[in-house]
Amino acid sequence: MVPPEMIFEVTGPLEITVTTPLPVPELPNVLAHESYFLIYDRQAVEAVEAAGEGWEALEDAGIYTGPFVAEDLSDAALTATRNENYWRGQPVMPGVTVSFVTDINARVLAIQNGEGDIALYPQASAKPVYDATPNVNFATGTLSTGGYAAFMNTGEGVLTDVAVRKAFMQSVNYQEMAEVVFQGATAEAEGLYGMDFPRAVANYRHDPEGATALLDEAGWVLEGDTRMKDGEALTLDIVIYPQQPDLVPMSGALQSYLRELGIRSEIVSVDDVGAAITAGSIDWDVALLGNGSATVGAVQGFLARYLATDADRNYAGYSNARMDELIATLATETDAEMRNQILGEIQHILVEEDPYIFNVTMLRGRVLVSDDWSTYQPGVALRHIGWQTAPDALK
């Protein structure tokens, strides 16, 4: 989230001065993101300008500075060889082949059969199966900046009642979700951010008794095994999408927690959750989505795009005047103590006053590796292969 009026000026041989029309406290975080600002040297700029629309000419232009040089790219694979002139030193491996295999089962078989070394995006919930498979190892890395999150429909339906939203959050056994449902492949969600994040507040709690009291006070009376009010059963429609199979066991666990409170629930799977719930083509109360609340340490983008009134990804039309004020203030506030206070209040609102989004479980970096790569540690974001990446035998 940066203003378009920013000016980048070369002020020295290895120096760029950035001038902004107003304070941008998260500019270092934005500059660190691999997809926001790509910095090229003069040779690269000249090569790109000369190529025009003929992008193929850039393949052999010699303008890239990564540890590996692309030799061939097809729909099936990318083949790259060692960059002998890499600025940090000689890459350990002579080359890398990245195969594009969309089916997770095929990726697992490739590792098991020795046809591959690292497989990306395994199902966290399938960890016990991977652990029992020869030559397949489930490797986890550091805690991610997000997790699988529940977006609650605050615009219509039963979740317009704040008490029901609070009860739903308190029904979730966050520790069990991470340690049992996902077999330790994810981490317990304790708040909007991972607890290694400096501004994180641990304010999630599993409190079935408290949830029961909230529902009773809100008039949702237990009749038999179902909560009823004015002749209506308390039912939640939970939306998931097939591209993320981990949401199946997660939604099943949520159903179980809700059932203990007397709340019925239905699971609906759609190809594009965001489009479906935004267009109003389905009835929904809860949407389960992947969530990155602090990508590269920056929080403003998530808050401004998902929580602010009229934000482009505000799926439920969530609107909280104090939240809008805090998000706007945070955008230009540079004092660290003040930023922490603002983020603390935002996290308090999302749990105690006006819940909307909460993490169900926190993700870790995860891959599958063969026995020859048993010490491999998954990288952060898209940084899977670096100049020092190598199998165990070369370390």
**How many structural domains are present in the chain?**
2
Considering the domain architecture, whether residues 246 and 348 belong to the same structural domain is answered as yes
Mean pLDDT of all residues in 235-244: 95
- Based on DSSP, count helices (H) and strands (E) in the chain, helices before strands: 12, 14
The terminus-to-terminus CA distance of the chain in angstroms comes to: 40
Question: Rounded to an integer, what distance in angstroms lies between the CA atom of residue 121 and that of residue 126?
Answer: 11
135 pLDDT more than 70: yes
Give residues with Cβ within 8 angstroms of 130, minimum separation 6. Answer: 108, 122, 136, 137, 138, 368
Sign of CA dihedral 182, 184, 186, 192: positive
Question: Rounded to an integer, what distance in angstroms lies between the CA atom of residue 34 and that of residue 379?
Answer: 13
229 pLDDT more than 90: yes
Tokens 């070394």 correspond to 117
| Greatest extent of the chain over all pairs of C-alpha atoms, in Å | 76
Considering the domain architecture, whether residues 103 and 213 belong to the same structural domain is answered as no
Mean pLDDT of all residues in 8-33: 90
291, containing H or E segment: strand 286-292
Got the DSSP string for 120-145? ES--GGGHHHHHTSTT-EEEEEEEEE
CB 294 within 8 A of CB 145: yes
Considering the domain architecture, whether residues 213 and 115 belong to the same structural domain is answered as no
Q: Domain for residue 343, yes or no?
A: yes
Give residues with Cβ within 8 angstroms of 30, minimum separation 6. Answer: 1, 2, 24, 36, 37, 296, 298
185 pLDDT more than 70: yes
Mean pLDDT of all residues in 147-162: 96
Q: Domain for residue 120, yes or no?
A: yes
Q: Give me the CATH number covering residue 90.
A: 3.40.190.10
Distances (CA, A) of 88 to 11, 16, 155, 382: 25, 21, 53, 19
Q: How much of the chain, in percent, has pLDDT values that exceed 90?
A: 72
Please report which confidence band the pLDDT of residue 143 belongs to, taking 50, 70 and 90 as the band edges.
confident
- Name which of 53-62, 127-136, 228-237 the model is least confident about: 53-62
CB 327 within 8 A of CB 311: no
Q: Domain for residue 20, yes or no?
A: no
- Of the candidates 319, 351, 159, the residue with the CA atom closest to the CA atom of residue 238: 159
Q: Domain for residue 44, yes or no?
A: no
Considering the domain architecture, whether residues 349 and 369 belong to the same structural domain is answered as no
Considering the domain architecture, whether residues 158 and 255 belong to the same structural domain is answered as yes
33 pLDDT more than 90: no
Q: Domain for residue 40, yes or no?
A: no
Tokens 């919930």 correspond to 125
The letter for the amino acid at 297 is G
Please report which confidence band the pLDDT of residue 389 belongs to, taking 50, 70 and 90 as the band edges.
very high
Considering the domain architecture, whether residues 127 and 148 belong to the same structural domain is answered as no
Q: Give me the CATH number covering residue 344.
A: 3.10.105.10
The pTM of the full predicted model, rounded to 2 decimals, is 0.88
Please report which confidence band the pLDDT of residue 75 belongs to, taking 50, 70 and 90 as the band edges.
very high
Task: Output the pLDDT for position 278.
Answer: 85
Considering the domain architecture, whether residues 307 and 332 belong to the same structural domain is answered as yes
CB 272 within 8 A of CB 241: yes
Considering the domain architecture, whether residues 230 and 246 belong to the same structural domain is answered as yes
345 pLDDT more than 90: yes
Task: Output the pLDDT for position 281.
Answer: 84
Whole-number average pLDDT of the chain: 92
Q: Domain for residue 324, yes or no?
A: yes
Torsion angle of C-alpha atoms 348, 352, 353, 354, degrees rounded to 10: 90
- Name which of 30-44, 97-111, 179-193, 378-392 the model is least confident about: 30-44
Task: Output the pLDDT for position 149.
Answer: 96
Considering the domain architecture, whether residues 189 and 282 belong to the same structural domain is answered as yes
Please list the alpha-helical segments (H only) found in the chain.
27-32, 42-51, 104-112, 127-131, 162-171, 174-176, 208-217, 247-261, 273-279, 300-302, 321-330, 336-348
101 pLDDT more than 90: yes
Q: Domain for residue 39, yes or no?
A: no
Please report which confidence band the pLDDT of residue 40 belongs to, taking 50, 70 and 90 as the band edges.
low
165 pLDDT more than 90: yes
Mean pLDDT of all residues in 161-177: 98
Please report which confidence band the pLDDT of residue 39 belongs to, taking 50, 70 and 90 as the band edges.
low
Considering the domain architecture, whether residues 323 and 378 belong to the same structural domain is answered as no
Question: Rounded to an integer, what distance in angstroms lies between the CA atom of residue 5 and that of residue 230?
Answer: 56
Task: Output the pLDDT for position 153.
Answer: 97
Considering the domain architecture, whether residues 200 and 296 belong to the same structural domain is answered as yes
Question: Rounded to an integer, what distance in angstroms lies between the CA atom of residue 231 and that of residue 278?
Answer: 29
What is the domain range of residue 109?
Answer: 65-141+365-394
Mean pLDDT of all residues in 324-338: 96
What string of H, E and C letters represents the secondary structure of 313-367? CCCCCCCCHHHHHHHHHHCCCCCHHHHHHHHHHHHHHHHHHCCCEEEEEEEEEEE
Q: Domain for residue 13, yes or no?
A: no
Task: Output the pLDDT for position 1.
Answer: 64
Task: Output the pLDDT for position 253.
Answer: 98
Considering the domain architecture, whether residues 372 and 350 belong to the same structural domain is answered as no
What string of H, E and C letters represents the secondary structure of 43-56? HHHHHHHHHCCCHH
Kindly report, residue by residue over 246-296, the tens digit of the pLDDT. Answer: 999 999 999 999 999 999 999 999 999 988 888 888 999 999 999 889 888
